[in-house]
Amino acid sequence: MSRHLTNTEAENEAKAAQESLAARLVAIRRQLHANPELSHEEFQTTDWIRGWLEEAGVRILDYSLRTGVIAEIGGARPGPTIALRADIDALPVQEETGLPFASQKPGRMHACGHDYHTASLLGAAFLLKKRESELAGTVRLIFQPAEEKAHGALEVIESSALDGVDAIYGLHNKPDLPVGTIGIKEGPLMAAADGFVVKLEGTGSHAAVPEASVDPIVAGAHLIAALQTIVSRNVSPLQSAVISVTRIHSGTSWNVIPESALLDGTLRTFDEGVRALVKERFERITDGVAAAFGVKASVKWIQGPPAVNNDRVLSETAAIAARRVGLQVVVPAPSPAGEDFAFYQRAVPGAFFFMGTSGPHEWHHPAFDIDERALPLTAAFFARLAEDNLVQLGGKDALSSQDFASSQDESPNSIPNDTTV
């Protein structure tokens, strides 16, 4: 005959389970970190994710994706379907962290923390699997490839992996937020990210005979300066936009005026109206400068993801779930970086967050790293969020924010005393 555990024994057992999960997630994250794979090359990463999920008894769904994994937990009880997403690809960066588990692949690095995202979602899967019979619906897990190419989300959508999903959540590490905090806000959080290539065609000549040329470099220099007036004079000061020319290529010799010049760069906006306005003004100014200097001009747009725009109700639900697992909720400043999670939000309601990771450097830095104490907190948040959202979307009474706040001290996932908030 079994006996009931005392409170102390139950607490010790829960603490041991938390420590075991934390250790496992650290090991997974470090294995992924040491073996980064670029967009559309995440074959080993995919195999590992599939293996870890299958080992936990999580069912894998068969979709037409070359890399990446789609899985599900729950479904025994009727209810909505909530998706949780993590990206899995790395960057072409040479790592300079000096960590014992640093990248083993020259010129490849998890410099944006996707190893942490993947490990955290796996942790949520392990937690949700233990409560599968109690889930009031289904949780779909999306381990997405090719986020750094800005179209992995579109591939997931085209594979039909988002069919039947009622809401989707995702997050990104935030180095400048301390572990134990999460940035949640409704509305725009990350920018639409478009690229451009401008080609200016003139007439080449000897550098000592400039009057015989139509100099594309001079035209390009004036164009760069003129483009900056779009933000300062065409975009309302109550809105925001960024236009950055980041590469100029022209000429092959010091004494030759070249035939052409190429200007590359990026446009970042948070509002679709501003996005359209900036593109229209960009093309008109380019045509005007080209006419003034006698060159031919063409503009090629590289369409990136739209702005991440968070659903109000889902953001409120997330804030409640975050407080319930002991996280401090802050309102983050929007980031001009792009994120293809925005494509999901055009298909179904969604919300995206910034999780504090106390990083020493910004995203894409060769010495980028995260504080691994964020791993179990993020896993717990993802799991709690999915459960709460299933209840809410299923039409049942969810706990109030006051109920959640009062439960923080009792949460087995509360922030350790040595964590800075």
pLDDT digits (tens, 9 = 90+) for 83-115: 999 999 999 999 999 999 999 999 999 999 999
Q: Say yes or no to pLDDT of 142 above 60.
A: yes
pLDDT at 117: 98
Residues 405 and 322 in one domain: yes
Q: What is the pLDDT of residues 261-313, one digit of tens each?
A: 999 999 999 999 999 999 999 999 999 999 999 999 999 999 999 999 999 99
Residues 33 and 52 in one domain: yes
Q: At what angle do helices 114-130 and 7-34 cross, to 10 degrees?
A: 140
Residues 338 and 253 in one domain: no
pLDDT at 205: 97
Mean pLDDT of 351-372: 97
pLDDT tier at 14, thresholds 50, 70, 90: confident
pLDDT tier at 11, thresholds 50, 70, 90: confident
Instruction: Show the domain range for 254.
Output: 192-302
Residue 83 lies in a domain: yes
Name the domain count of the chain: 2
pLDDT at 10: 67
Nearest Cα residue to 356 out of 100, 24, 113: 113
Residues 176 and 200 in one domain: no
Q: Say yes or no to pLDDT of 208 above 90.
A: yes
Residues 31 and 62 in one domain: yes
Average pLDDT, the chain: 92
DSSP string, 343-408: HHHHHS-EEEEEEE---SS-TT-TT----TTHHHHHHHHHHHHHHHHHHHHTTSPPPPHHHHHHTG
Residue 335 lies in a domain: yes
CA-to-CA distance for 161 and 86, rounded, in angstroms? 14
Q: What is the CATH number of the domain that holds 242?
A: 3.30.70.360
Q: Say yes or no to pLDDT of 225 above 80.
A: yes
Mean pLDDT of 130-152: 96
Residues 161 and 222 in one domain: no
Residue 2 lies in a domain: no
CA-to-CA distance for 375 and 357, rounded, in angstroms? 9
Residue 309 phi, psi dihedral angles, 5° rounding: -130, 105
pLDDT at 12: 76
Q: Say yes or no to pLDDT of 66 above 90.
A: yes
Pairwise pLDDT comparison (2 vs 234), residue with the higher score: 234
The dihedral formed by the CA atoms of 351, 357, 360 and 362, expressed in degrees to the nearest 10: -10
Say if CB 168 and CB 83 are below 8 A apart.
yes
**Tokens at 170, concatenated:** 């995702």
Residues 198 and 104 in one domain: no
Q: Measuring CA to CA, how many Å separate 130 from each of 134, 192, 265, 326?
A: 9, 38, 48, 21
Say if CB 298 and CB 334 are below 8 A apart.
no
Q: Say yes or no to pLDDT of 418 above 70.
A: no
Residue 36 lies in a domain: yes
Q: What is the pLDDT of residues 381-403, one digit of tens each?
A: 999 999 999 999 986 444 333 33
pLDDT at 9: 65
Residue 416 lies in a domain: no
Q: What is the CATH number of the domain that holds 398?
A: 3.40.630.10
